[in-house]
């Protein structure tokens, strides 16, 4: 059953042009309540302008340890993402619900699996948790990540992803697919959709021969990738998490028109008549320690 607890915010750090990593502490008395499986999510509850809002965010970290990390992408006019990424400060309390969700796999040290994961944008969050846990606990398994973004500057958890590659150089590989930043390898340009899966399969045999597939991103991306993977390999399990409905809500232009203004490397978001929230972690994106 979902139970909320006020958890102390330990850090709010900028991790991409328009995304932040939120770290909350789990006191020892709540460790059992907040025990989770890689791939699960928590619900965050907050009063925003007198109205209670709840949103779900996947846990980025692998199970174990005394903190939970969440990766929040700022949405244009979004109530909760703006609030979390811009107004929370270390020491604040945040109502967080106990972990839930079925996007998980049965990790076992005996397995010798080939996993192929497709993540689009903020869909990297549960995939990173799963990859970290699988690689640590299944020493004979391999993990291939295909990670789609518009550009490197919008790529969430880039350092953590590259850190996994350094740590598991023989068992983890990552391929970045960019839709608005051309790369030398032509077939890694574009969006992750059904066509791209078929194209990737021509260059990467594991795309059609994996033992298990993991997919996370917006609803339409998930549906297209699932269908394409099924036609390539109809025997392997396909696990997936949708972050948003396939059909977005109609956009109210009065509220969202011009809702984002770019000032230097910062983004300012305006929405719902509220003051523009800003990412707080300085304008420069630092490569190095963050959100581990």
Ligand X SMILES: Cc1cc2nc3c(=O)[nH]c(=O)nc-3n(C[C@H](O)[C@H](O)[C@H](O)COP(=O)(O)OP(=O)(O)OC[C@H]3O[C@@H](n4cnc5c(N)ncnc54)[C@H](O)[C@@H]3O)c2cc1C
Contacts with ligand X, residue ranges (CB under 6 A)? 41, 55-58, 71-73, 75-82, 122, 125, 241, 243, 249-252, 256, 271
Task: Decide if 72 contacts 279 (C-beta within 8 A).
Answer: no
Task: Decide if 104 contacts 39 (C-beta within 8 A).
Answer: yes
Closest CB 10 distance from ligand X, rounded Å: 18
In the complex with ligand X, the residue whose CB is nearer, 59 or 197, is 59
In the complex with ligand X, the residue whose CB is nearer, 50 or 250, is 250
Among candidates 148, 146, 140, 213, which has minimal Cα distance to 173?
146
Closest CB 72 distance from ligand X, rounded Å: 5
Q: In this structure, what are the phi and psi dihedrals at residue 137, rounded to the nearest 5 degrees?
A: -105, -10
Closest CB 147 distance from ligand X, rounded Å: 14
In the complex with ligand X, the residue whose CB is nearer, 144 or 259, is 259
Closest CB 280 distance from ligand X, rounded Å: 16
Angle at 134 between CA 224 and CA 10, to 5 degrees: 95
Closest CB 75 distance from ligand X, rounded Å: 4
In the complex with ligand X, the residue whose CB is nearer, 224 or 241, is 241
In the complex with ligand X, the residue whose CB is nearer, 114 or 179, is 179
Residues composing the chain: 292
Q: Give me the residues paired with residue 176 across strands.
A: 147
Q: Distance between CA 280 and CA 82 in Å, rounded?
A: 11
Closest CB 111 distance from ligand X, rounded Å: 25
Among candidates 79, 31, 132, which has minimal Cα distance to 270?
79
Among candidates 37, 102, 22, which has minimal Cα distance to 67?
22
Q: Distance between CA 256 and CA 264 in Å, rounded?
A: 21
In the complex with ligand X, the residue whose CB is nearer, 118 or 243, is 243
Closest CB 82 distance from ligand X, rounded Å: 6
Among candidates 73, 97, 69, 96, which has minimal Cα distance to 86?
73
In the complex with ligand X, the residue whose CB is nearer, 89 or 249, is 249
Residue of minimal Cβ distance to ligand X:
78
In the complex with ligand X, the residue whose CB is nearer, 19 or 26, is 19
Closest CB 91 distance from ligand X, rounded Å: 23
């Amino acid at each position: 059953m979902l139970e909320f607890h006020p958890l102390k915010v330990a850090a709010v750090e900028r991790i991409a042009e328009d995304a932040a990593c939120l770290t909350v502490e789990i006191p020892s008395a709540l460790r059992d309540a907040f025990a989770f499986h890689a791939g699960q999510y928590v619900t965050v509850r907050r009063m925003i302008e007198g109205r209670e809002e709840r949103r779900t965010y996947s846990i980025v970290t692998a199970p174990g340890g005394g903190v939970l990390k969440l990766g929040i992408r700022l949405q244009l006019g979004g109530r909760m993402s703006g609030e979390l990424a811009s107004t929370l400060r270390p020491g604040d309390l945040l109502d967080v619900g106990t972990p839930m969700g079925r996007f998980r796999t049965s990790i076992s040290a005996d397995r010798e699996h080939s996993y192929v994961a497709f993540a689009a944008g903020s869909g990297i969050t549960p995939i990173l948790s799963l990859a970290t846990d699988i690689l640590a606990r299944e020493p004979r398994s391999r993990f291939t990540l295909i990670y789609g973004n518009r550009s490197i500057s919008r790529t969430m958890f880039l350092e953590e992803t590259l850190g996994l590659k350094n740590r598991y150089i023989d068992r983890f590989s990552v391929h970045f697919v960019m839709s608005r930043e051309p790369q030398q390898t032509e077939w890694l340009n574009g969006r992750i959709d059904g066509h791209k899966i078929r194209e990737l399969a021509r260059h990467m045999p594991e795309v059609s021969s994996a033992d298990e597939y993991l997919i996370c991103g917006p609803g339409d991306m998930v549906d297209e990738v699932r269908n394409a993977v099924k036609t390539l390999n109809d025997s392997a399990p396909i696990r997936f998490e949708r972050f948003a409905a396939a059909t977005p809500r109609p956009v109210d232009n009065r509220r969202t028109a011009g809702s984002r203004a770019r000032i230097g490397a910062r983004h300012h978001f305006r929405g719902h008549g509220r003051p523009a929230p800003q990412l707080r972690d300085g304008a420069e994106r630092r490569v190095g320690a963050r959100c581990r």
